[in-house]
Amino acid sequence: MPEPEAEFLRNLGAKERKLRRLACDDAIAALRERPELRDPLHRVLANGTPEARFSAVWILFRSGNSSLRLLPALLDSLELPDGDLRWSAVHMLATLGRIHPEVLHLLLHEAREARQPTRRRMSLFALRELAPEQDATHAVLLSALDDSDSAVQRAALSCFAKLCETPRTTADRILQILESHPDPRMSRIAAAVTPEVVAAHPELLEDARRLLGALRASSDPALARAARAALPRLPEHPGSAS
């Protein structure tokens, strides 16, 4: 392989983000003229470092490849230490899942069973983007509220704001978290999602308004701010919360 091509392949896994990005841009440009360069990219996809595998996925994805061959590296990318790369992987997984239904089932499995908490957490975000209307997404989010990792619990709670509709029993659970939870971070997230969660349950509006109103005076400044921000987003009258 000519040296310039070898150079950009080496830099796909560079520690410096700028070098990785330049290598990715060079590879995308080269692929327009030389489609056969997909072969060495697929080898990186299979055998490269975690960062290089992500770069290979990004290049192939941006070049119009929506194959399920990208899926193992994408799922592994949910564990990368760079948060921006993890979020890029989430969005690519959601896009891939709209083309291949198998992705949804794999994400549901990862959200429940992945050994690494970061992988479970990012799988929840991918499910939120891919299938907010699915009962299976609601079920896995509800289960994740009891995950052994507190960051996974917080991620699950935050995702309820994006669901198409939250069942009444789950809305009750979130109001309970808002009212009393040992982790103040969970209470803050519950305050933030409460307006969306109770929108389909106008009978809960007054309870939500009472709880948020009381929390405006919380000794936790962040919780007090979250409550104050949420209150104006509640419907004015129960009949309009639909």
Mean pLDDT across the chain: 93
Task: Judge whether residue 109 has pLDDT over 90.
Answer: yes
Averaged pLDDT, 192-208: 96
Helix axes of 205-215 and 221-230: crossing angle, nearest 10 degrees: 140
Least confident of 24-38, 100-114, 115-129, 185-199: 24-38
Q: What is the pLDDT of residue 241?
A: 42
CB contact at 8 A, 79 and 73: no
Q: How far apart are CA 89 and CA 83, in angstroms?
A: 10
Task: Judge whether residue 192 has pLDDT over 90.
Answer: yes
Averaged pLDDT, 84-99: 97
Question: Does the fold of domain 68-161 match that of domain 1-65?
Answer: yes
Q: What percent of the chain has pLDDT over 70?
A: 94
CB contact at 8 A, 189 and 181: no
CB contact at 8 A, 108 and 136: yes
**Tokens standing for 181?**
């939870």
* φ/ψ (deg, to 5) at 152: -65, -40
**Tokens standing for 145?**
């509220």
Task: Judge whether residue 129 has pLDDT over 90.
Answer: yes
Q: 159 vs 241, which has greater pLDDT?
A: 159
Over the stretch 49-65, which tens digit does the pLDDT of each residue have? 999 999 999 999 999 98
Query: In angstroms, what is the C-alpha Rg of the chain?
Result: 22
Q: How far is residue 143 from each of residues 50, 56, 112, 154, 157, measured CA to CA in Å?
A: 29, 34, 8, 12, 10
Sequence ranges of the domains in the chain: 1-65, 68-161, 165-242
Q: What is the pLDDT of residue 37?
A: 85
DSSP code of residue 2: -
Q: What percent of the chain has pLDDT over 90?
A: 81
Over the stretch 66-75, which tens digit does the pLDDT of each residue have? 999 999 999 9
Residues 6+ apart with CB under 8 A from 185: 150, 154
Task: Judge whether residue 144 has pLDDT over 60.
Answer: yes
Q: How far apart are CA 185 and CA 19, in angstroms?
A: 37
Q: What is the pLDDT of residue 236?
A: 75
CB contact at 8 A, 65 and 28: no
Q: Please tell me whether residue 165 adopts helix, strand or coil conformation.
A: coil
Tell me the CATH number of domain 1-65, given options 1.20.1050, 1.20.120, 1.10.10, 1.25.10: 1.25.10
Averaged pLDDT, 208-233: 97
Q: What is the pLDDT of residue 6?
A: 63
- For residue 111, which of 92, 96, 95, 130 has the smallest C-alpha distance? 130
Tell me the CATH number of domain 68-161, given options 1.25.10.10, 1.20.120.10, 3.40.1260.10, 1.20.1260.10: 1.25.10.10
Q: What is the pLDDT of residue 30?
A: 87
